[in-house]
Amino acid sequence: MTKAYLEISLNIAVENRATAGGIYTKYKQPFLDQIQGASSKELLIRDEDVQVLHGFDTVENANAYLKSELFNNDVVKELAPLLSANPDIKIYVVA
Amino acid sequence: MHLCIVNNDVINKTNKMTKFKRNLIICLTVIATIFTSATFAQTKNKQVAGAYLEITLKINDADRTAAAGVYLKYKQPFLKQIKGAVSKELLIRTDDVQVLHGFKTQADAEAYLKTDLFNNDVVSALKPFLQAAPEVRIYTVFTNK
């Protein structure tokens, strides 16, 4: 049951989106398998930006993911060269 | 000779019965399979969102209970009446709240913003609580197919 969402909005130029899609796909399963409380991960796309919508069982686990090695050493490092602005990170609790 | 005919009759009848039973079993299996897959497809269709509408709202703490009431009031009408509506969740954090709507397609999400339910009901009811103009985003879900 998803009780919290982590929304990471990323400004990625259209020409870099296929590469970013590859990074998303590469780390989707490790995220779902290894990260505590992870329940879903979806890549959302619109003209202005893309958003990775992560589902968690608790806000605490969403916060903990941002401090994990998978996030900092893998996802952030690989995505960094593709970003045109700082990512916008939001954590919400489901009412 | 007579006995033989009787025996043949019995064998024929038994064969017919076995054939009938076999056909009946096959028929029932086919019907059950079709029914199960149809039900499964329906459930699956209902659950999978192909697009999301995110409406982010700046609402003071003092007004959040009243705003949540508006959300609750229109949740079921949204899910029942709006074409392609899949899900509706109220998300909360200190800075703002967000209504996360799931739709089957991007076109369904765009169409919802033009409906009476959205414009006459939801928008009017929430207006008194908003500290800033709502931020409306429509995203399509990336599928690796």
Cross-chain CB nearest to A95 (options B54, B68, B144): B68
For an interface test with A, give the residue of B106, B139, B140, B143 to mutate (most A CBs within 10 A).
B139
- Is residue A42 pLDDT above 60, yes or no? yes
By mean pLDDT, which of A84-93, B1-10, B68-77 is the weakest?
A: B1-10
Average pLDDT (B70-76) is 96
Q: Pick the residue from chain A with its C-alpha nearest to B100.
A: A94
Are the Cβ atoms of A94 and B90 closer than 8 angstroms?
yes
By mean pLDDT, which of A49-58, B29-38, B49-58, B81-90 is the weakest?
A: B29-38
Adjacent-strand bridge partners of B138: B53
Is A34 within 8 Å of A73 (Cβ atoms)? no
Question: pLDDT per residue over B132-143, tens digit each?
Answer: 999 999 999 998
Which residues of A fall within a CB distance of 8 Å from B138? 46
Question: pLDDT per residue over B7-26, tens digit each?
Answer: 556 556 666 667 777 777 77
Q: Which residue has the higher pLDDT, B95 or B4?
A: B95
Average pLDDT (A41-45) is 97
Handedness of CA B17, B18, B20, B25 (dihedral sign): positive
How confident is the model at residue B18, as a pLDDT? 74
- Fold designation for B49-140: Alpha-Beta Plaits (3.30.70)
**ipTM confidence:** 0.94
Q: Which residue has the higher pLDDT, A9 or B25?
A: A9
CA dist B101 and A85 (Å) reads 26
> Of A91, A4, A95, which is closest to residue B72 (Cα–Cα)?
A95
Domains of chain A: 4-93 (3.30.70.100)
Which three-class secondary structure state does DSSP give residue A37? coil
**pTM assigned to the model:** 0.80
Question: pLDDT per residue over B52-65, tens digit each?
Answer: 999 999 999 999 99
B66 touches chain A (CB under 8 A): no
Is B98 within 8 Å of B57 (Cβ atoms)? yes
Which residues in chain A (28-47) have CB-CB distances under 8 A to chain B?
42-46
The helix or strand, by DSSP H or E, that contains position A39, with its residue range, turns out to be strand A38-45
Are the Cβ atoms of B142 and A46 closer than 8 angstroms?
no
How confident is the model at residue A63, as a pLDDT? 98
Mean residue pLDDT of chain A comes to 96
- The vertex-B133 CA angle with B130 and B135, nearest 5°, equals 110
Domains of chain B, residue spans: 1-47, 49-140
Q: How far is CA B65 from CA A87, A95, B77, B79, B88, in A?
A: 30, 11, 20, 21, 17
Which residues in chain B (84-103) have CB-CB distances under 8 A to chain A?
89-93, 95, 98, 100
